[in-house]
Structure 1
């Protein structure tokens, strides 16, 4: 059964991961973020209880 032979497929997997790690990933990480994180001010809102009509 040739599909159980990992020799050619391991090389393909290793080559694809090296390509991704060394070439594609740095190019993707160099793009600026479209929505940079901002610090939100923590404002407290007054919570009013709900008035139920049947109580």
Structure 2
């Protein structure tokens, strides 16, 4: 069964991942995000305790 021979497929896998990580990924990371995170002020919410009608 020739598909079980890892010799050509491992090289193809390694080459494709190296291409992706060295060329494609840095180009994609330079794009500006369309929805940048905003600096929100964190507010603490006060909660009121529940009044149970049978107590």
**TM-score, with structure 2 as normaliser:** 0.72
**TM-score, with structure 1 as normaliser:** 0.72
- Gaps of at least 5 residues in structure 2 are 49-55
- Gaps of at least 5 residues in structure 1 are 49-55
Ranges of 4+ aligned residues in structure 1 off by more than 2 Å? 41-48
Number of residues paired by the alignment? Answer: 55
CA-based RMSD: 1.7
